[in-house]
Structure 1
Amino acid sequence: MRPDIHPNYAPIKATCSCGNVIETSSTLGKDILIEVCSSCHPFYTGKQ
């Protein structure tokens, strides 16, 4: 890879509306709010 052309990754927290917090890395550089995650999405929970 060429140096100095790729954006920097920073640790962020993605907070779901259900209260679940996911720690990840992103080039965005700030915490985000999400509507659904694997803890509350019907596909993953088996509830419809």
Structure 2
Amino acid sequence: MSKSNIHPKWYSKASLYHENKLLCLIGSTKNNLQIDIWLANHPFFNNSKLIVDSEGRVEKFMKKYNLNYNE
């Protein structure tokens, strides 16, 4: 026998926020979502040289493969 009521509630118009600004409405299991990085501020998509790295992974990779890294 299958269990009933095991799936989370689905919000078809969940609000997606970045820096307290509404970006869009999406489907989600949470009603409100806060994000830190999205397409407009992601370094890959806006040709920025800023790399978000809190654990030194980028420096470790650059050193391992003997590549130049200029901030």
Q: Which runs of 5+ in 2 are unaligned?
A: 50-71
Structure 1: gaps spanning 5 or more residues: none
Alignment: residue pair count: 46
User: Which aligned segments of 4 or more residues in structure 1 are displaced greater than 4 angstroms?
Assistant: none
Larger radius of gyration: 2
- Structure richer in helix, relative to its length: 2
Q: TM-score, normalised by structure 1?
A: 0.63
Q: Identity of paired residues, percent?
A: 20
Give TM-score scaled by structure 2 length. Answer: 0.48
Q: Is the 1:14–1:23 contact (alpha carbons within 8 Å) kept by the matching residues of 2? A: yes
The Cα RMSD (Å) is: 2.4
